[in-house]
Amino acid sequence: MSGYRDEVQKPPFPAPGGTDAATGTTRMPHVVLIALYYPPSRASGVYRALAMSQLLAQGRYRVTVITAPEDYYARITGSSDPSLLSHIDPSVRVERVRLPDGHLRQDIRDLGPLRVNAPRAVALLDAVRGKLFPDRYSTWIPGVVSRILALDRRDPVDAIIATGNPWSALEAGRIASRLVRAPLVLDFRDSWTLDQFAEKPAFDPDHPASRAERRVIEAASLVYQVNEPMREWYAERYPREEQKFAVLENGYDAHLVPTPPLRIRAADEPLVLGSVGTVTEHWPHEATWSGWELARQHEELDGARLRLYGHLGFSPNAAARIRTMIPGADAGVDYLGGVDKTDLAAVYDDLDVLVMSIPSSRYVTAGKVYECMAMGKPTVGIYAPEAAASGPMQGYPLAFPVSELTAPAVADAMLRAARAARELTPQLREDALRHARRYRRAEVLTRLDQDLWRLIDHDRSRRRVR
């Protein structure tokens, strides 16, 4: 079960949820969270949505999560981690709404008779649906809206939070919030119309996606981005809605991956470096592996291994392509595959130096940034100095970021981190952990709790009579 409960403190002031007409008692606000990626999904966004639901439910709200059926992830995305189901708090009501997914299936054996026998007609229907809402998951919208309406009849909804991607979750939230007359909070854990890696607009202003994004933002009461550059970009794009935009950073889940004890490897033992998390095409692979090859020629890394724990990409099609980018065991690199959250503590305990190779974008703050800091170990940061990861790592005393994305710079950072691993003191480690603790989910999501509370309280006087 979730370990957030001990981290949450309930506020001293009364709930804004109103009074139950039948009992005359104060009613805790009912919040609906729309999140396609929720356990047992293993997509990167699942931990943010899981933490939102847990912390809100264990604070001062009754929470319902609208998500996909459990078999959807293994069947469609090919990425499922059933162990995450045990972390859903029993107080969270989970409503699993079917997503018609014939158009998402890759295996011809799973397409169904209509798509096999009438592909042109089906393609036409898909095109029409795409014009109505430009997202391949738009078939989910009617079911989500219908479920929220049914929920509202039984248990009035006080606020709706929709996290994206997919962007159909935001559109479903927009429609449902209008129908049940509840305020809408949007959580952009990714960007919709910004290409975060190219750092430029992904669509023209008149593109259907741009129009759809504008529509949901105009309907929302509050819109979160994950870092300040993202907030600034959206504020410039939508100046009339600027007051709605705020930053809700990512963070780490202390109970899922506890900090390992301090351990210094014996002087005659080779160091073990490691990276934990999904390996993607967007990694700076060339600089990482060329730098590693240079670094392991030095005495500090004599006999050292670099272990990779994590899935290759987020779909089966990506795995084979990414595998060709990674050196083999003869280069001192061991790819050990995915690992359950329950086993991560042992993995981190065995690593002396963490290697964080992530995309160099001002708009992408990877979740592993926060998790690495929480381990209290020397961390090599392979990303450009202007990348978003530089923000939370600023001031972390065990950070060894590269000065530039070149092999010599990567090798230099690895060697400095290796020396730090041999010389790590309890005081330096405690300083690092003190810096990391400000990014615990319970700390970061305090803003969501407070903002949502004020929003519901402000909206109470304008809500319909229940």
DSSP state of 28: P
What pTM does this model have? Answer: 0.85
Nearest to 429 by CA among 401, 391, 396: 396
User: Can you say how many angstroms the Cα of residue 278 is from the centroid of all Cα atoms in its chain?
Assistant: 12
CB neighbour list of residue 297: distance below 8 Å, 6 or more residues apart: none
Q: What is the DSSP letter of 75?
A: I
d(CA 348, CA 378): 12
pLDDT, residue 5, reads 54
Q: Are 81 and 311 in contact (CB under 8 A)?
A: no
Residue 20 half-sphere exposure toward CB, CA atoms < 13 A: 11
What domains sit in the chain, N to C, each tagged with a CATH number?
Answer: 5-251+441-460 (3.40.50.2000), 272-437 (3.40.50.2000)
User: What is the predicted pLDDT for the residue at 259?
Assistant: 93
Tens of pLDDT along the chain (466 residues)?
446 555 544 443 344 545 554 444 567 999 999 999 999 998 888 999 999 999 999 878 999 999 999 988 888 777 788 888 999 999 999 999 999 876 665 555 455 555 444 556 545 555 555 556 899 899 999 999 999 999 999 999 999 999 999 999 999 999 999 999 999 999 999 999 999 988 999 999 999 999 999 999 999 999 999 999 999 999 999 999 999 999 999 999 888 888 999 999 999 999 999 999 889 988 999 999 999 999 999 999 999 999 999 988 877 778 889 999 999 999 999 999 988 777 888 999 999 999 999 888 899 888 889 999 999 999 999 999 989 989 999 999 999 999 999 999 999 999 999 999 999 999 999 999 999 999 999 899 999 999 999 999 987 755 544 4
DSSP 8-state assignment for residue 275: E
**What ranges in 107-181 are assigned the alpha helix state H?**
113-117, 119-132, 141-154, 168-180
CB < 8 Å & 24+ apart, contacts of 106-114: 106/317, 110/75
**Which residue, among 42, 87, 37, has the nearest Cα to 65 in the 3D structure?**
37
Q: Which distant-in-sequence residues (6+ apart) come within 8 Å of 11 by Cβ?
A: 59, 60, 453
What's residue 464's pLDDT?
A: 46
Instruction: Say if residue 320 is exposed, middle or buried (CB neighbours under 10 Å; 0-12, 13-18, 19+).
Output: exposed
E strand or H helix that includes residue 357: strand 353-357
Evaluate whether 369 touches 358 at the Cβ level (below 8 Å).
yes
- In the prediction, which pLDDT does 466 show? 47
Packed helices 426-437 and 367-374: angle between N→C axes, nearest 10 degrees: 140
Confidence (pLDDT) at 169: 97
Looking at residue 118, its pLDDT comes to: 53
From the list 257, 184, 245, 187, the residue with the least C-alpha distance to 439 is 257
User: CB neighbours of 430 closer than 8 A, spacing ≥ 6?
Assistant: none
